[in-house]
Structure 1
Amino acid sequence: MPNNYRIAKVSSLLKKEITLILQNDLENDLIRDHFINISKIDLSGDLQHCKIYITSTAKEKVRKEIVENLNTAKSSIRHSLGKRIEMRRVPEIIFKDDVVLDKGLSVLKLLDELKNKNQNNNVEGKDAKS
C-alpha cells in the first residue's frame, strides 16, 4: 500500500525542483519565452513514474509544441533532477498538457453566452408586454 504522505512530499519536492530546472537550466527558447506552470504531478505509488501536467498562457498549438519539447528534453531534466534531489531512483517523467483550464474557460464562456441570451429574452418579453 502506498504511503500517501510520502507520495505528497516527493511530489511537492519534484514540482519545486522541476520548476527551477525549467526556469534556470533548460536551454530551450520556446520554453523560456513562455510562462509555464506545473499544475499537477501524478506520482505512482512506487515513486517510479511521474506525469507532470503543465499549463501555459500560450495558444493550444504552441502549448503542444512546448510539451513535445519538454518530452524531448526529459532525459536531461531527469539527469538534472538526479543531481538536485536524493532519491534511490529518479522517477521516469512524462509531460502532459493540462487542458482543465481550457475546459473551465470554455464552460465560463458558455455560461456567459447563456446569461446574455437569457437577459435578451427577458428584455424582449418585457417589451412585448408593454
Structure 2
Amino acid sequence: MPNNYRIAKISSLLKKEITLILQNDLENDLLRSNFINISKIELSGDLQFCKIYITSTAEEAIRKEIVEELNLAKTYIRHTLGQRIEMRRVPEMTFKDDTVLEKGLSVLKLLAELKNKKHNQDSKVEGNNKNV
C-alpha cells in the first residue's frame, strides 16, 4: 500500500496535469468561458480512484453544468493523462463541485450579522444607561 507522501505527490502531479488539460486541450465553450480551479484531489490508497473537486466563479447552476461536462469528458482526460504521465494505471476520475468556499462565505456572513446584532444591543444598553 502506498504511503501518504506518495499519494500526496501523485495527487499534486494529477492536479497539475489535469489543470493543463482543462486549459489547453478541451474544446468546450462552457469550460473555456468560466474560470475553473481544481481545489482538491482525493486519491484512494490503491491509486485506482480519485475525486476531483473543482471551484468556479460561476453561479451554482452553471457549476453543476461544468461538473456534468467534466464528467462526460473524463474518459478523454484520463486518456490524455495516460499519454502524459508514467503510471501503471491512471485512476478512474469523478469530478465534484467543491462547496467549501460557499459554506465558508455563509459562515462569515453569519458571523458578521451576529457581530452587528451584538453591536446594536450594546448601543441600546449604553443609551438606556445614559438615560438613567
Establish whether TM, by shorter chain, passes 0.5.
Answer: yes
Structure 2 portions without partners, runs of 5+: none
Do structure 1's residue 115 and structure 2's residue 102 form an aligned pair? no
Give the match's secondary structure for 2:40. strand
TM (normalized to structure 1)? 0.96
Identity, % of aligned positions: 75
Give 3-state SS (helix, strand or coil) of 1:63's partner.
helix
Q: Name the structure 1 match of 2:12.
A: 12
Amino acid at match of 2:121: N
> SS of the counterpart of 1:116?
helix
TM-score (normalised: structure 2) = 0.95
| Displaced runs of 4 or more, over 6 A | none
RMSD over equivalenced CA pairs, Å = 0.9
Residue equivalent to 1:77: 77
| SS of alignment partner, residue 2 of structure 1 | coil
Letter in 1 for 2:61: K
Map of 1:50 onto structure 2: 50
Larger radius of gyration: 2
* 1:30 alignment counterpart: 30
**Aligned AA for 2:126?**
K
Give ranges in structure 1 of 5+ residues lacking alignment. none
| Paired positions, count | 130
Amino acid across the alignment from 1:53: Y
